Chain A
Amino acid sequence: MNPLISITLLMTLILSTMIVMISSHWLFAWIGLEMNMMAIIPIMMKKPSPRATEASTKYFLTQATASTLLMLAVILNLMHSGQWTIMKLFDPTASALMTMALAIKLGLSPFHFWVPEVTQGIPLTTGLILLTWQKIAPISILYQISPSINLHLMITMSFLSILIGGWGGLNQTQLRKIMAYSSIAHMGWMTSILLYNSTLTLLNLLIYIIMTFTMFMLLIQNTTTTTLLLSQTWNTTPVMTTFTMLTLLSMGGLPPLTGFMPKWMIIQELTKNDTLILPTLMAVTALLNLYFYMRLAYSTALTLFPSTNNMKMKWQFHPTKQMTLLPTAIVLSTMLLPLTPTYYILL
């Protein structure tokens, strides 16, 4: 793509999220969300193919619906409260509608159906942007309206997301779809703690972004999109197999890696609020996620898959792609656990 166009699109993307985050007028926030959607559609179509077209169409349809619903909720709020400030909503119907609109935007269950299909149809880098940057704007709105969100709706959607994220990923070999289901599950964890202690939502988002960024960077390095391709990384860069395994385990939430931190905090907050069944079930279903991460780690790092003799020579050559921030990201996504007390920064 023409570099001028791609810079414009990227700038618009960044600007739109900024607009959503700093606005205090509902209309402005809506504008930001629309710009976000408009900017990313061409990015998705960088390499035109029927698959990409289908993905971007699906993305457009769902996100447009979500924005419309958001507008409806804003109008209802205006009707009941007479003002446009971004704060808690004053009508339960408006609150429910806005929650559902943001759920569609994030890909929470039961509106999760678009996430795997869209993620599968786009190149890896765009998928990275989709699963990390695009989550910031809706979460920021959710953070601001959190006092008025209906508890039952939120908890139902988040627990269902965790389940769907776990069960859906079991049947996959395409890595992008696996990352999509993992994103659904993590969104579930994030929104479950929103009404009890919203700071932890932001913490979870931060850690999730770091880990997903690391994972995608590792995948982009060798353009591996299937498990089969991933199992050949020991031929090209053997050291990356270790890092892949560590990142995957961190995403699964194993101590003493970073991914354990948000899960631990969330379970602690939930138990402090006397809900015991929910964190138990959430922790148990997180095992499903861990299972398919382990399957990937098994075929990548724990076993050396057979390959042709030509493949075995690839490590002798220097990598041609740029490893953007990969070492930093790997360190951040595996060794951040001792810094847990610093999450008070987010308060």
Chain B
Amino acid sequence: MDLFTSSTLLTLLMLITPIMASSTNLYKNSNYQHYVKNMTLSAFIISLIPMTMFIHTNQEMLISNWHWITIHTFKLTLSFKMDYFSLMFMPVALFITWSIMEFSMWYMHSDPNINQFFKYLLIFLITMLILVTANNLFQLLVGWEGVGIMSFLLIGWWFGRTDANTAALQAILYNRIGDIGFLLSMAWFLSNTNSWDLQQIFVLSQNPSNLPLMGLTLAAAGKSAQFGLHPWLPSAMEGPTPVSALLHSSTMVVAGVFLLIRFSPLMENNKPIQTMMLSLGALTTLFTAICALTQNDIKKIIAFSTSSQLGLMMVTVGLNQPHLAFLHICTHAFFKAMLFLCSGSIIHNLNNEQDIRKMGGLYKILPFTTTALITGCLALTGVPFLTGFYSKDPIIEAATSSYTNAWALLLTLIATSLTAVYSTRIIFYTLLEQPRFSPLMNINETNPALINPIKRLLVGSIFAGFILSNNMPPMTTPLMTMPLHLKLTALMVTTLGFIIALEINTYSKNLKYPHLSNFTNFSTLLGYFPTIMHRLPPHLILTMGQKLATSLLDLTWTEIILPKTMTSIQLKASLLTSNQKGLIKLYFLSFLITMTLVMLLFNYPE
């Protein structure tokens, strides 16, 4: 084994050690957190080795370890695929996890189960890496389900609160609906290509039918909170802020888009599927951006922002640009995690206040957090030469200059400007103006466990885009020339969004609307989607089930069909046959005429 292989496997194995250490005494004292954090740091540094080697030599690798099972001609092994996507994603994920673990040493400091929290975060990280490096669909499913389960456990961390339990269950249910699509495509691939290995699938089914691709799209929609399966993501903000930062902004929710990126060779030539993904992504991005405009919980605004960016990633996959989507995954992870950490800092400092209507004036009080928040928002909106610019701008350029659905493009542009609007809203309400919180707050940001992670991610938010896009080997032909107005589209809509938002926010100091308008209601109630969909379909399906069991089965099939019908038929027939009127002359006459006619017709047929 050479350095490539050994460093990859070492990265993965190192992360398992603290899990095994949890059965020892180390688990009981407070050094466990440092242990886990340092292990993650070491794993990050070691994972830089394969990444650098890949950038240098452009050699992909496939590690196939353990032959697990063979059923007839189907062979299942434990295999890791280290290619462009997984090698680039691993350091990014490990870096962010390291920062978040250090942050949660400050955030969850007073929690008695803090060691268990770290263990859960680590298990989540391991399953995420399994997902990313999987070479066959079974291993991917292991990782997929693993991140789902850890999401459940971590969202329901404060399980004494019913809202948290409901949110965790909601996450599981929506993910399960996506899993139906995943299993469907697994079954299709197994029966049509006799393998779950990615290499064999790509060779044997160059143009698969729409069924497995729809299944994969459904799986991505479930995991990445696309429209229709999106309500779980804002509800998942019931979990602690580190959980939101790790799972629901950077790593878990991108698993769906990652799956589509993995299978992008199958979707290159399938225009209908691409159009479907494009439309779904465009709808998601605009809808969640609209919902983010009127939320009052800071974490929910950032959650909807995540959802909007996921829609944008789906749009990119729908434009047949998987590498741009992957770049956006990596860059988005940096500034979104940082936004969540800043919001965690604000929340803890304001004594667990999450409503932005009761924050304000933190500009001078929390200078470092303010800096990070503003930089993060600017990176999110795609201000030139920050991180977001290097991925978002090429996406918009690719969208405007490709032969694509104009409606989807329009929606995406509107959503881009709305991104600027809600970012301005966050900044305005939390940082600017006069303070709206109680004066007796104990606010400080001197703890290095808080500052260092945000510092690192801040550096990442500013420079990571530049570094990543210059070091990633180009896989597709970049578009070099386009008209000036197309080039400036993203910038112009963003600027427009900023200006409008600033205007309206300053209005809110002087004007007050007497009653809520319908549009505000639509946006605040998340488009009425949870209200309708969480009540009506279950009610209909359960009543249908009850009616099927009792009315149809019990009553109709076993009682009415045979016994009662028979009874009524016999009654009617008996009444018919035994009630006669004695019209003798009529009977005889009809008999005579019939006989005469019959004899004549049959004997003289002409």
Contact = CB atoms under 8 A, between A and B. Distances in A.
B577 A167 contact: yes
A58 B587 CA distance: 12
Interface string B581-592: 010100110010
Contacts of A127: none
B578 interface: yes
Contacts of B68: none
B588 A171 contact: no
B588 A167 contact: no
A288 B603 CA distance: 40
Given A61-B584, A65-B588, A113-B580, A93 B602 contact: yes
A163 B283 CA distance: 68
A167 B574 contact: yes
B242 to A, nearest CB: 76
B584 A172 contact: no
Contacts of B587: 113
A32 interface: no
Contacts of A58: 584
A93 B577 CA distance: 29
Interface residues of B, number: 19
Contact of B578 (A93, A163, A168): A168
A93 to B, nearest CB: 6
A170 B603 contact: no
Interface string A104-130: 000000000100110000000000000
A342 B580 CA distance: 42
Contacts of A170: 570-571, 573-574, 578
B575 interface: yes
Nearest to B585: A61
Contacts of B577: 164, 167-168, 171
A117 B582 contact: yes
Given A93-B599, A93-B602, A168 B574 contact: yes
B3 interface: no
B532 interface: no
A183 to B, nearest CB: 15
B480 interface: no
Contacts of B542: none
A116 B576 CA distance: 14
A167 B570 contact: yes
Contact of B570 (A69, A177, A288): A288
Nearest to A165: B577
Contacts of B570: 167, 170, 288
A163 B603 CA distance: 32
Interface string A63-105: 0010001000000000000000000000011000100100000
Contacts of B599: 93, 97
Interface in B439-471: none
Contacts of B588: 61, 65
A32 B577 CA distance: 33
Contacts of B574: 167-171
Nearest to B576: A167
A171 B575 contact: yes
Interface string A21-34: 00000000000000
A69 B603 CA distance: 17
Interface string B308-323: 0000000000000000
Interface string A180-197: 010000000000000000
Contacts of B573: 163, 167, 170
Nearest to A292: B574
A65 B584 CA distance: 12
A206 B284 CA distance: 88
A324 B580 CA distance: 35
A119 to B, nearest CB: 13
Nearest to A117: B582
A172 B602 contact: no
Interface string B280-292: 0000000000000
Interface of B: 570-571, 573-580, 582, 584, 587-588, 591, 595, 599, 602-603
21 contacts: A58-B584, A65-B591, A69-B595, A92-B602, A93-B599, A93-B602, A97-B599, A116-B578, A117-B580, A163-B573, A167-B573, A167-B574, A168-B577, A169-B574, A170-B571, A170-B573, A170-B574, A170-B578, A171-B578, A171-B579, A177-B578
Interface of A: 58, 61, 65, 69, 92-93, 97, 100, 113, 116-117, 163-164, 167-172, 177, 181, 288
Q: Which 7 pairs, one residue from A and one from B, show the smallest C-beta to C-beta distance? A: A170-B574, A167-B573, A168-B577, A171-B574, A171-B578, A167-B577, A167-B574
